[in-house]
Amino acid sequence: MRWPIASSAWRPTDFRIAFFTNSGSESVDTALKVALAYHRAKGEGHRTRLVGREKGYHGVNFGGMSVGGIVPNRKVFSANLIPGVDHMRHTLDIGRNAFSRGLPAHGAELADDLERIAALHDGSNIAAVIVEPVAGSAGIIPPPVGYLEKLREICDRHGILLIFDEVITAFGRVGKATGAERFGVTPDLITTAKGLTNGVIPMGSVLVRDHVYDAFMQGPDQMIELFHGYTYSGHPVAAAAGLATMDVYDEEGTFEQSATLEDTFADILHSFDDHEKVIDVRNFGMMGAIEMAPREGAPGARGLEVHKKCFWDEQLVVRNGMDVLQFSPFLNSNVDEMQQSFEAIRRVIDSVD
């Protein structure tokens, strides 16, 4: 299906084609299948291996779980994860990068893990590598300076497709239409969901670069190129919600608004840098995390207590992943309200053991 390029809020050049899904998880599994099928269509069916990253979150379907690196999601299904998957190390390095404002300075060399995996299996056997440009669910982990560029270079060297899972980062979360645009690194496929309809109706998409699409379009017209799809792919109600959402993003300048708020958001977050219970503060765009020290012998307890107290005492929903408090404010947040919310969060952090 051709993406409605009429919208100026969302016009990634070179990604004219979208495959619609109903969730981020479906987008990820679709992207992995497209990558495998692409190589086969090009006569490189031996490229079957996939590479993910520790701490990556790519949804809960079998492909996404297999390339993902969140242990509790994988643990129960360990024996059934798909074969032929390697993981690069994650880039969270509190030792060297604690309290970085924006992209951390250290860790670009971790992209060389992909080079090592390519050396181990031979790069010609690898179909794709998938990463979140900014890891979300594992606790907001922005990429080290130069890391994504390095991944792109290594992929190019070995003919590996680069997939950015932008289920969180697309649609203004990092001040541009995509993380790809914000970082100036162009992947071959982009997965989206959430912001595509502002979350009001389930819908996701896989955006493919023209060269990927073209590789499928070599057969006779009457034949289906890729036997994959969902009953509700491109559901008209979801499509209407998506188009309406794009109009709002356009009319209200949502992405630009998000970009204007990110410095204030960073200031507010980093005012927690010297809090005695806090061991790291991380941020990029309108994504941020405050990581608290775990309680002796009870990792996660402090985070859960903050979450509950924020809800019951301050009427605030604060997501915690263990002891990491994770934030993604509205892209059109009001600064006063944002400040008040974080004053409430400070009261709560102060009040817990």
Q: Exposed (0-12), middle (13-18) or buried (19+): which is 308, by Cβ within 10 Å?
A: middle
Nearer to ligand PLP, 23 or 91 (CB): 23
CB of 123 to ligand PLP, least distance (A): 25
CB of 168 to ligand PLP, least distance (A): 4
CB of 138 to ligand PLP, least distance (A): 10
User: What residue is closest to ligand PLP based on CB?
Assistant: 24
Nearer to ligand PLP, 117 or 168 (CB): 168
Nearest Cα to 258, choosing from 347, 190, 198?
198
Say whether 151 sits in a helix, a strand or coil: helix
Q: Strand order in 161-165's β-sheet? A: 17-21, 204-208, 189-192, 161-165, 126-131, 49-53, 85-88
Q: How far apart (Å, rounded) are the C-alpha atoms in residues 254 and 351?
A: 36
In this structure, which amino acid lies at residue 254?
T
CB of 204 to ligand PLP, least distance (A): 6
Q: How far apart (Å, rounded) are the C-alpha atoms in residues 165 and 57?
A: 9
Nearer to ligand PLP, 12 or 204 (CB): 204
Q: Return the residue matching tokens 């799809």.
A: 229
Return residues touching ligand PLP (CB under 6 A). 23-25, 28, 57-59, 132, 136-137, 165, 167-168, 193
Q: How far apart (Å, rounded) are the C-alpha atoms in residues 171 and 141?
A: 18
CB of 88 to ligand PLP, least distance (A): 16
Nearer to ligand PLP, 123 or 136 (CB): 136
Q: How far apart (Å, rounded) are the C-alpha atoms in residues 244 and 236?
A: 12
CB of 276 to ligand PLP, least distance (A): 31
Nearer to ligand PLP, 245 or 349 (CB): 245
Beta bridge partners of 226: none
By the 8 A CB rule, do 90 and 130 touch? Answer: no
Nearer to ligand PLP, 168 or 338 (CB): 168
CB of 27 to ligand PLP, least distance (A): 7
C-alpha distances (whole Å) from 65 to each of 37, 71, 83, 148 are 20, 9, 12, 22
Nearer to ligand PLP, 130 or 212 (CB): 130
